[in-house]
Amino acid sequence: MRSPTPPSASATPLAWEKFRTQLATYAHTKVNYDDQHQMAYTPATGWRLDDYATDLPAEAPGPPTPAGAFAVAQDILRRYAFTPPDLITGYFDPSQPLAQRIMVLRARFLWINFYFGVRIVDVVDADAQPSLAGPERVWGYGYRTLEGHFERGQINFSIHKNLATGVVQFRIHAVSQKGAIRNPFYWLGFKVFGSMLQRRFARQSLARMRRLVAEALAHPAARPQTNLA
Q: How is the chain split into domains, by residue range? A: 47-222
CA dihedral 39, 102, 6, 226 (to 10 degrees): 40
CA-nearest of 188, 180, 198, 201 to 33 is 180
pLDDT of residue 54: 98
CA-nearest of 44, 49, 20 to 153 is 49
CA-nearest of 80, 98, 103 to 209 is 80
CA-nearest of 173, 190, 43, 204 to 116 is 190
Domain 47-222 CATH (choose: 3.20.20.80, 3.40.50.450, 3.30.530.20, 3.40.462.40): 3.30.530.20
**Do residues 16 and 147 lie in contact, with contact meaning Cβ atoms separated by under 8 Å?**
no
CA dihedral 178, 183, 189, 192 (to 10 degrees): 50
**Digit-coded pLDDT (tens) for 126-172:** 998 888 888 999 999 999 999 987 788 899 999 999 999 999 999 99
Task: Report residues of the chain scoring pLDDT below 50.
Answer: 1-12, 183-194, 225-229
CB half-sphere exposure, 191, CA atoms < 13 A: 9
Q: Report residue 22 CA to chain centroid gap.
A: 20
pLDDT of residue 42: 86
Which residues lie below 8 Å from residue 146, measured CB to CB, with a gap of 6+?
26, 29, 30, 31, 32, 116, 117, 118, 119
- The length of the chain, given as a count of residues: 229
Distance CA 97, CA 119 (A): 12
**Host H or E run for residue 24:** helix 20-26
**Do residues 183 and 160 lie in contact, with contact meaning Cβ atoms separated by under 8 Å?**
no
pLDDT of residue 196: 58
CA dihedral 27, 15, 208, 161 (to 10 degrees): -50
pLDDT of residue 39: 81
pLDDT of residue 220: 76
First and final C-alpha spacing in the chain: 6
The whole-model pTM stands at 0.84
